């Protein structure tokens, strides 16, 4: 058994991508750069692009970005390490992010995260042994009216419970198709990163999946419209929709997590 000794020497320069990969990525990178009046603006989308190639931002990926944008490796590393969405080591096909910012945490996010860690046998930012899931607690994802919220590959899983999330990750690990409450049926993390780089999702039905708006988004609108609709006489004075109504709203989202 050899012992690794750290001599404090600088790392060797990262290797380049194989020619075939580099040629392919260059075409995409040029398309990204052309979107902006200043080429450096392409850096964030290009980091998403290299993440779509390897599943994380490798030193090779950073070097590629630096070469394309005439920046130093250090300038690119400074940016890549500032933003939380760029991963710095290989991780799972599905990024499961449990919101534990105050509101979601209190509404149950803390319990969901604790139970999920135990269920998957990983800690924060850990990846399951089968390489399927990387678990992380995340900050507020702008869906507080759907709390507690879990994001998988940055698609919305609204109004979650510990049981619903455990079922969902079991489905993912079993290779079943999982659909979010808002968003399109899950694709891999790499494919998601390509959309983030600015290349539209070309899967049929991806844009329309899950409908126009989630139930909470329509809460006020339904009251406002119900007041004039004869079918909803209760709304004119009864300001507390019954439990049955909210159940029906959730019922419109059938078919998730199959």
Partner 1 sequence: MTTAAPGSYGTGPEKLLSPVLSEIWDEPESWTLETYLRHDGYQGLRKALAMPPDDVIALVKEAGLRGRGGAGFPTGMKWQFIPQGDGKPHYLVVNADESEPGTCKDIPLMFANPHVLLEGMLIACHAIRSNHAFIYLRGEVVPVLRRLHEAVREAYEAGYIGRNVLGSGLDVDITVHAGAGAYICGEETALLDSLEGRRGQPRLRPPFPAVAGLYACPTVVNNVESVASVPSILHRGKEWFRSMGTEKCPGYTLYSLSGHVVNPGQYEAPMGITLRQLLELAGGIRPGHRLKFWTPGGSSTPLLTEEHLDVPLDFDSVAAAGSLLGTKALQCFDETTCVVRAVTRWTEFYAHESCGKCTPCREGTYWLVQLMRDIEAGKGTLSDLDKLADISDNIFGRSFCALGDGAAAPILSSLQYFRDEYEAHIEQRGCPFDPAASTLWADQPSTAHQEVNA
- Contacts of 170-175 with C-beta under 8 Å, sequence gap 24+, read 171/257, 171/258, 172/94, 172/132, 172/133, 173/128, 173/130, 173/132, 173/133
Task: Pick the stretch among 6-14, 23-31, 76-84, 125-133 that binds partner 1 (CB under 8 A).
Answer: 76-84
Interface of this chain with partner 1, residues 161 to 190, rule: CB under 8 A: 161, 163-165, 167-168, 180-184
Residue 8 or 205 having the CB closest to partner 1:
205
Q: How far is the CB of 238 from partner 1 (least distance, A)?
A: 10
182 to each of 115, 143, 253, 256, how far by Cα in Å?
A: 23, 10, 9, 10
CA 36, CA 45: separation in Å to the nearest integer? 11
Residue 5 or 82 having the CB closest to partner 1:
82
CB-count exposure of residue 116 (10 Å: 0-12, 13-18, 19+): buried
Binding site listing: 99, 104, 140, 144
Cβ neighbours of 55 (radius 10 Å): 21
Q: How far is the CB of 164 from partner 1 (least distance, A)?
A: 4
Q: Which of 22, 101, 119, 185 binds partner 1 (CB under 8 A)?
A: 101
Residue 93 or 158 having the CB closest to partner 1:
158
CB-count exposure of residue 10 (10 Å: 0-12, 13-18, 19+): exposed
Interface of this chain with partner 1, residues 107 to 126, rule: CB under 8 A: 107-108, 110-111
> Can you say whether residue 227 is alpha, beta or left, with left for phi > 0 and alpha for psi between -120 and 50 degrees?
alpha
Q: How far is the CB of 86 from partner 1 (least distance, A)?
A: 6
Q: Which of 154, 170, 173, 188 binds partner 1 (CB under 8 A)?
A: 154
Our finding on whether 78 is near partner 1 (CB under 8 A) is yes
Interface of this chain with partner 1, residues 188 to 247, rule: CB under 8 A: 192, 195-198, 200-201, 206-208, 210-228, 235-237, 239-241, 243, 246-247
């Amino acid at each position: 058994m050899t012992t690794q000794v750290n001599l404090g020497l600088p790392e060797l320069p990262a290797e380049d991508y194989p020619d075939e990969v580099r040629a392919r990525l260059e075409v995409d990178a040029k398309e990204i750069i052309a979107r902006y009046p200043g080429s450096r603006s392409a850096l964030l989308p290009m980091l998403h692009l290299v993440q779509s190639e390897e599943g994380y931002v490798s030193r090779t990926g950073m070097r590629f970005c630096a070469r394309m944008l005439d920046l130093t490796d250090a300038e690119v590393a400074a940016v890549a390490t500032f933003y939380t969405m760029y991963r710095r080591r290989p991780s799972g096909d599905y990024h499961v992010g449990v919101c534990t910012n105050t509101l979601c945490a209190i509404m149950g996010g803390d319990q969901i995260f604790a139970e999920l860690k135990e269920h998957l046998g990983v800690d924060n930012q850990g990846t399951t042994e089968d390489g399927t899931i990387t678990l992380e607690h995340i900050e507020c994802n702008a869906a507080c009216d759907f709390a507690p919220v879990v994001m998988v590959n940055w698609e919305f899983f609204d109004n979650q419970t510990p049981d619903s999330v455990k079922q969902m990750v079991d489905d993912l690990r079993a290779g079943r198709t999982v659909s979010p409450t808002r968003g399109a049926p899950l694709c891999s993390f790499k494919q998601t990163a390509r959309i983030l780089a600015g290349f539209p999702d070309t899967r049929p039905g991806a844009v329309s999946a899950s409908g126009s708006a989630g139930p909470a988004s329509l809460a006020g609108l339904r009251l406002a419209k119900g007041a004039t609709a004869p079918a909803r006489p209760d709304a004119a004075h009864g300001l507390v929709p019954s439990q049955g109504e909210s159940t029906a709203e959730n019922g419109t989202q059938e078919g998730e997590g199959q």
